[in-house]
Amino acid sequence: MGNSMVKAQTEQTADFLKKAVGQLTDFLNEATITNLMEELQGEDVFYKELLGNFRRLTVFCEEGLEACQVIIYNDPFRKGAAEKVLYRIYHQCIEEFFQPKQDVWYEDSRSAYTGKNSIKFRQDVPHSIKQLVKNLESDFQNMREELEYYETDYRTKMMQSR
């Protein structure tokens, strides 16, 4: 892939991450266990794990955004560094969204065929959390498709360098 294509992909990824960080931060700035319990009575531990996963995802997205911005504004543009950053974003942000560490939600891959959201929660969650994930999911899905190339390309390069 040429420099201009990788740079455009890095810029697109930075825009996506900026939007995701904004949505996650807005939600986390307002969310409390008490508010979530008022919205829907549930397990305290489960809500803590949910919020923990959102905080973790936010940090990964912020770090990815910063890395993209450094690459974009670096002159000359370093294609290899950009590809490495995009690979890392795929694993730390995209994969974390679809397969969170605490396993409080999961991706139902069969949902892709029905046109419904693919994220399913292990327990009932408040509407605000459903809405947040619904708002994020299509952008994360689109970026997963865009960045899958870097997953396979980077692994191929690593195997060839051995």
Task: Please give the backbone phi and psi of residue 28, each rounded to the nearest 5 degrees, phi first.
Answer: -65, -30
DSSP per position, 22-51: HHHHHHHHH--HHHHHHHS---HHHHHHHH
- Per the DSSP assignment, residues forming a β-bridge with 107 are 119
pLDDT score recorded for residue 3:
86
Q: Give the mean pLDDT of 55-60.
A: 98
Domain spanning 3-155: which CATH class is it, in words?
mainly alpha
Per-residue pLDDT, 22? 98
- Is the separation of the CB atoms in 95 and 19 below 8 Å? no
DSSP state of 93: I
pLDDT band for position 150 (cuts 50, 70, 90): confident
* Residue pair 33/47 in contact by the 8 Å Cβ criterion: yes
- Contact at 8 Å (CB) between 143 and 50? no
Chain segment 79-115, per-residue pLDDT in tens: 999 999 999 999 999 999 999 988 999 998 776 566 6
CA distances 150 to 64, 72, 80, 154, Å, are 15, 17, 11, 6
CB count within 10 Å of CB 65 equals: 21
Q: How confident is the model at residue 5 (pLDDT cuts 50, 70, 90)?
A: very high
Query: Does residue 11 have a pLDDT over 60?
Result: yes
Residue 76 has pLDDT above 70, yes or no: yes
Say yes or no to pLDDT of 158 above 60: no
The domain limits of the chain are 3-155
Alpha-carbon dihedral 106, 112, 113, 117, rounded to 10 degrees: 80
What's the confidence (pLDDT) of residue 109? 77
Q: Is the pLDDT of residue 160 over 70?
A: no
**Alpha carbons 54 and 123: distance in angstroms, whole number:** 16
Cα dihedral 42→27→99→57 (10° resolution): -130
pLDDT at 114: 62
Longest dimension (CA), the chain: 55
| pLDDT for position 108 | 86
CB atoms within 10 A of CB 69: 15
- pTM of the full predicted structure? 0.89
Read off the pLDDT band of 143 (50, 70, 90).
very high
Percent of the chain with pLDDT strictly greater than 70: 88
pLDDT tens-place string over residues 27-54: 999 999 999 999 999 999 999 999 999 9
